[in-house]
Amino acid sequence: MLITCPGLLNANASKLLGAWFPGEQMNTAMGIYFSASGVGMSVGLATSALFPTTKSAFVTAGFAMLVIWLLWMAFIKASPEGAPGLPAMPVTGYIKVAAGSRNVWLVSLALMFLMGSSMVFSGFLPNALNKVHGMSPVAAGFMTSIVTFGTIVGSLAGPFLSDRVGKIKPFITPVAVLGAIAGYGSWLLPQGAGMATMLALFGIFLGICTPLLMAFPMLLPEIGPVYAGSAGGIIGTLQVVGAVFIPSFIIAPLAGQNYNLLFALGSLSFLMVGAVSLLLPELGAAARRRNIS
């Protein structure tokens, strides 16, 4: 359920933000959105070992989610006042168009691998650092939180740099390759500044890729605001598959207690993001301006 809830929210992120921001601002809006989620994950990882019991940690998290839900219900609007309504059609009509887009499935696969890689490190790294590197649970949690702190930086910097250059793909593919190297390299290094630096880079590279990929549904000509919700549903479903099945049912059984193999496979999952992204169309600012002209 904890994995499903963010998936449901992210599934509608592109549609919600697309209703408020034009296409040229989608990357930046997505970057701010995901940087905020990185703050929450960082705080959670850094403080989880400080709670006296597991129950107290979950109760605190549940209370925080309740407060956020109340704020959401009070202040969030689906679209600006006076915005034109979307055409009405059966739900199956929306799903059929979204599911018929090759690009939606490619984005979904890329984000599935991205979530799989991210969850391998956030889920297994604290225990691995404690067992293999001898870190205390508090120190291991803080070291892992460096990844999510890095995603905050990447989520803000990636869309900004992409918009300045005018392209998206030259960021996603090389960044995924560098992220895979940084992820596995962080595990191979002894604890210290080198490990912390590589974990920060790994997080930054994760943060760069996520908002750029999540902005695709609103930018795809065949999807846009009309079908972004259904496309987001497909993307969100595969994100949950990546977050749950890749770490728990594929990587963990293959690696067993071999942490070297575990984090190598987790890094390979990030590398697959770059491979899939090569098949996506270029929808950066420069390409959109050319299409309009």
In whole angstroms, give the CA distance from residue 109 to residue 69.
Answer: 29
Secondary structure of the chain: what % helix, strand, coil (to 5)?
80, 0, 20
Cα–Cα separations (whole angstroms), residue 138 to 20, 212, 258, 271: 40, 33, 23, 30
Identify the pLDDT of residue 86.
59
Q: Per the domain annotation, does 46 fall within a domain?
A: yes
Amino acid type, 249: F
Nearest by Cα to 147 from 89, 223, 202? 202
As for how many domains the chain has, the answer is 1
Q: Per the domain annotation, does 84 fall within a domain?
A: no
- Output the DSSP codes for 14-77: HHHHHHHS-GGGHHHHHHHHHHHHHHHHHHHHHHGGGSSSHHHHHHHHHHHHHHHHHHHHHH--
* Tens place of pLDDT per residue across the chain (293 aa): 555 566 566 666 666 676 676 666 666 776 677 677 767 776 776 677 678 888 888 888 888 888 988 988 888 776 677 655 556 667 788 889 999 999 999 999 999 999 999 999 989 999 999 999 999 988 888 898 899 889 989 988 888 888 888 888 888 999 999 999 999 999 999 989 999 999 999 999 999 999 899 888 888 889 887 788 788 889 888 988 999 999 999 999 999 999 999 999 999 999 999 999 999 998 877 766 665 55
Residues 242/234, Cβ–Cβ less than 8 Å: no
In whole angstroms, give the CA distance from residue 38 to residue 207.
Answer: 8
Identify the pLDDT of residue 232.
85
Q: What is the CATH number of the domain that holds 259?
A: 1.20.1250.20
In whole angstroms, give the CA distance from residue 90 to residue 81.
Answer: 25
In whole angstroms, give the CA distance from residue 64 to residue 53.
Answer: 17
Residues 127/257, Cβ–Cβ less than 8 Å: no
Q: Per the domain annotation, does 285 fall within a domain?
A: no
Q: What is the pTM of this model?
A: 0.82
Q: Per the domain annotation, does 35 fall within a domain?
A: yes
Identify the pLDDT of residue 6.
61
Q: Which residues does 47 contact at the CB level (< 8 Å), separation at least 6?
A: 141
Q: Per the domain annotation, does 286 fall within a domain?
A: no
Q: Which domain covers residue 141, as residue numbers?
A: 4-78+91-279
Q: Per the domain annotation, does 142 fall within a domain?
A: yes
Sign of torsion over alpha carbons 116, 223, 98, 100: negative
Which pair of structure tokens corresponds to residue 61? Answer: 């998290």
Q: Per the domain annotation, does 83 fall within a domain?
A: no
Under DSSP, is residue 85 helix (H, G, I), strand (E, B) or coil? coil
Q: What secondary structure letter does DSSP report for 86?
A: P
In whole angstroms, give the CA distance from residue 35 to residue 113.
Answer: 20
CA 288 from centre of chain: 24
Q: How many CB atoms lie within 10 A of CB 85?
A: 6
Q: Per the domain annotation, does 148 fall within a domain?
A: yes
Residues 270/114, Cβ–Cβ less than 8 Å: yes
